[in-house]
């Protein structure tokens, strides 16, 4: 353990990271990625920490602890990569896209995309599962209907994160009230005040965008896409069995990794229908072992339209190998995030931000929202973005006699929903990988993920106006003071020991 790192040195570390990321993402245009920038930022953070007495062995434990928190996420990425390869080779994804094109009309497509992802994520509690399965299919349907990928991806992300935030099955939905001291039920009910209006506004916006974009729909392109699918795949209603099983398993609280693994296996019997081999072994014939790891290639005719070319690119997957880029980005981000977390740099920054609240309700909510966004960017982990601000601002909320569910709601309004906006965050890397779309820049989906950026703004508005900002009763406040006194005594005894 070292000494407290001064604020100016923490800001120096952040400045160095910003310079490295700017270099890696903009100047070095051939790279256009943050891997090395995050490692260099971690090196600067380690040097600053070492000058303040922090041992490398301690920082290494902090890095490993951060990596350990993301291991399940990395395994889910690998499983989804293998499952998509299995479903592409088995014609499962093309079949769902085919039926989706037949059923959905362009005018209500974006509205339907957001609503369907909301339902699936609410049932499963996972935005990653929703984007990696339903999201990929919806992007394919959107291509056929003439919608830009970034617009469709925005609708998918909005729906996926609605359920991730509101479902009692979601890990973040359980984590936030545990940190703030609220119950799960009151936390979910309280989030309706912010997430409900955000979803309604988002759905209305998607309906309007769909009607405007769908007015220029080219039915000829739709027929060309359908012809391309039927020419390359055997379409069968039986192909809906694997996705139905996986979604139902997740909804019935079956562990997500075994459910995904079953999804991989259920795709194998359909390989033969599409001309692929499970066993392989013959010359120029690859088996499932190769396909699940390296994926399949789908080529569009040279004279194909832009929609067919984009669909062929979407149906071309590289199996587990395709997600290793995202996994390596997550590991690099955890190096930097682990060091600034375990050495107290993040705590110093949060304490500095708390002073900006000036003891007001609106200021405190604004600082909490902003802190969650900052931690998402710096620590690259939505769990840390909930835990660190939650611990730092818990007493500030209590001092204003605000009920714990107000804090837990703020943590989710920003900590959960903005995590995918950071390209090197675990969630950001995953969403861009699954949906084949960056967050920012030309063709970025972030402006169209309406629920994700609108929800924090509604939360800040409520903070200043007092709408739904429930206060503690006198009995609750007195009990809180007793609990705080007991916690302080326990912490003092621990420090003495």
Q: Are 136 and 431 in contact (CB under 8 A)?
A: no
Q: List the chain pLDDT tens, one digit each, 497 residues.
A: 778 899 899 899 989 988 888 887 777 666 677 788 889 999 999 999 999 999 999 999 989 988 887 887 788 888 888 988 998 889 898 898 888 888 888 888 999 999 989 988 887 788 888 888 888 889 888 888 888 999 999 999 999 999 889 988 788 888 889 888 888 889 999 999 999 999 999 999 999 998 887 666 666 777 888 888 888 889 999 988 988 888 788 777 788 788 889 999 999 999 988 888 888 766 666 788 889 998 888 887 887 777 788 888 888 888 898 888 888 888 888 888 889 888 988 888 878 887 887 778 899 999 999 989 988 888 777 888 888 888 888 888 988 999 999 999 999 999 999 999 998 888 888 898 888 889 988 889 999 999 999 999 999 999 999 999 999 888 888 888 888 888 777 766 755 65
CB-based contacts of 229, cutoff 8 Å, min separation 6: 94, 97, 98, 235, 311
Burial class (CB in 10 A: 0-12, 13-18, 19+), 381: buried
399 alpha carbon, distance to own chain's centre: 32
CA neighbor of 322 nearest in space, from 227, 442, 436: 436
Q: Are 43 and 20 in contact (CB under 8 A)?
A: no
> Which two three-digit tokens encode residue 373?
């966004």
Q: Are 368 and 389 in contact (CB under 8 A)?
A: yes
**Which stretches within 3-148 are classed as H helix?**
7-22, 35-51, 56-89, 92-103, 109-124, 127-130, 136-144
CA distances from 237 to 26, 35, 130, 133 (A): 46, 42, 21, 17
In sequence order, what are the beta bridge partners of 471? 402
> Which two three-digit tokens encode residue 19?
């310079």
CB-based contacts of 49, cutoff 8 Å, min separation 6: 2, 5, 59, 339, 343, 345
CA distances from 185 to 141, 189, 416, 479 (A): 36, 6, 18, 20
CB-based contacts of 34, cutoff 8 Å, min separation 6: 21, 24, 25, 329, 332, 333, 423, 424
Neighbours of 81 (CB within 10 A): 28
> Which two three-digit tokens encode residue 8?
């100016």
Q: What one-character-per-residue DSSP string does 333-364 give?
A: HHHHHHHHHHTTHHHHHHHHHHGGGTT-HHHH
CB-based contacts of 125, cutoff 8 Å, min separation 6: 163, 164, 167, 168, 169, 170, 171, 173, 250
Q: Are 304 and 310 in contact (CB under 8 A)?
A: no
CB-based contacts of 185, cutoff 8 Å, min separation 6: none
């Amino acid at each position: 353990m070292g000494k407290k790192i001064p604020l100016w040195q923490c800001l120096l570390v952040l400045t160095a990271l910003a310079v490295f990321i700017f270099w890696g993402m903009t100047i070095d245009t051939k790279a256009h990625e943050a891997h090395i920038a995050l490692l260099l930022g971690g090196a600067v953070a380690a040097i600053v920490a070492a000058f303040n007495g922090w041992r490398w062995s301690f920082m290494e434990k902090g890095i490993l602890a951060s990596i350990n928190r993301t291991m399940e996420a990395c395994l889910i990425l690998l499983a989804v990569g293998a499952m998509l390869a299995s479903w592409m080779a088995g014609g499962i994804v093309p079949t769902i896209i085919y039926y989706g094109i037949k059923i959905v009309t362009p005018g209500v497509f974006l509205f339907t995309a957001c609503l369907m992802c909301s339902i699936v994520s609410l049932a499963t509690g996972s935005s990653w599962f929703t984007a990696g399965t339903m999201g990929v299919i919806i992007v394919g349907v959107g291509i056929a209907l003439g919608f830009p990928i970034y617009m469709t991806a925005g609708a998918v992300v909005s729906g996926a994160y609605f359920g991730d935030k509101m479902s009692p099955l979601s890990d973040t939905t359980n984590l936030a009230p545990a940190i703030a001291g609220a119950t799960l039920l009151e936390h979910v009910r309280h989030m309706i005040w912010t997430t409900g209006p955000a979803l309604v506004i988002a759905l209305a916006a998607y309906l309007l965008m769909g009607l405007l974009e769908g007015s220029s729909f080219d039915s000829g392109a739709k027929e060309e896409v359908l012809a391309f699918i039927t020419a390359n795949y055997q379409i069968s209603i039986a192909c809906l069995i694997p996705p139905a099983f996986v979604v139902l398993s997740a909804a019935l609280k079956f562990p997500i990794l075994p459910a995904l693994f079953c999804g991989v296996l259920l795709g194998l019997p359909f390989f033969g229908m599409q001309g692929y081999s499970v066993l392989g072994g013959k010359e120029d014939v690859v088996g499932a072992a190769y396909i699940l790891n390296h994926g399949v290639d789908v080529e569009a005719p040279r004279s194909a339209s832009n929609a067919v070319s984009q669909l062929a690119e979407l149906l071309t997957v590289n199996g587990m190998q395709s997600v290793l880029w995202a996994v390596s980005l997550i590991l690099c981000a955890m190096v930097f995030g682990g060091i600034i977390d375990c050495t107290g740099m993040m705590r110093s920054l949060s304490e500095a931000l708390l002073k900006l609240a000036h003891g007001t309700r609106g200021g405190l909510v604004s600082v909490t929202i902003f802190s969650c966004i900052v931690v998402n960017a710096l620590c690259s982990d939505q769990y840390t973005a909930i835990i660190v601000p939650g611990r730092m601002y818990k007493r500030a909320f209590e001092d204003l006699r605000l009920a714990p569910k107000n804090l837990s709601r703020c943590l989710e309004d920003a900590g959960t929903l903005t995590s995918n906006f950071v390209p090197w965050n675990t969630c950001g890397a995953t969403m861009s990988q699954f949906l084949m779309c960056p967050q920012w820049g030309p063709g970025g989906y972030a402006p169209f993920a309406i629920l994700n950026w609108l929800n924090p703004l509604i939360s800040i508005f409520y903070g200043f106006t007092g709408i739904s900002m429930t206060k503690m009763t006198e009995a609750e406040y007195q009990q809180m003071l007793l609990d705080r006194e007991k916690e302080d005594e326990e912490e003092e005894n621990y420090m003495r020991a």
